[in-house]
Amino acid sequence: MKPRLTFRLVLGETIALGPGKVQLLEAIHETGSIAAAGRSMNMSYKRAWHLVDTMNRCFKSPLVETAKGGARGGGAALTPLAEEVIGRYRRLEAQAREATDAELAELGAHLAPDVRGD
């Protein structure tokens, strides 16, 4: 099992962006719905909504816009800012992974072959 390096963008006490939030944005883009995006990640609607709310508050303008209608709203769409933010996060991730490749291999060589739980 290879170790992975993940990144979190932290603003004060709050994680503005991390692997889960970016994956959720990408799923909202694909499904057009916060509920469906959450389900595709085995996440409750409440949890998915909370992550979207946190992101919307962390940025100067919202990343996800919801349309009204129906019990759980009439769908959700990414704003242009969200598209930019996803692109920048993925680029940042690629840059960091490339820069730390050798050091991560050295660190990874000390890890136990298989670990479960936490």
Please tell me the distance from the alpha carbon of residue 66 to that of residue 107, in angstroms, as a whole number. 43
Choice between 74 and 108, CB closer to a copy of itself? 108
Positive or negative torsion for Cα 19, 25, 27, 30: negative
Least distance (Å) from a copy of itself to the CB of residue 63? Answer: 9
Of 11-30, binders to a copy of itself (CB under 8 A) are: 11-17
> How far is Cα 72 from Cα 50, in angstroms, rounded to an integer?
14
36 binds a copy of itself (CB under 8 A): no
Q: Choose which of 23, 31, 40, 54 interacts with a copy of itself (CB under 8 A).
A: 54
88 in contact with a copy of itself (CB under 8 A): yes
118 binding a copy of itself? (CB under 8 A): yes
Verify binding: residue 46, a copy of itself, rule CB under 8 A.
no
C-alpha to C-alpha distances, 1 to 4, 105, 107, 111, 114, nearest whole angstrom? 9, 12, 13, 10, 6
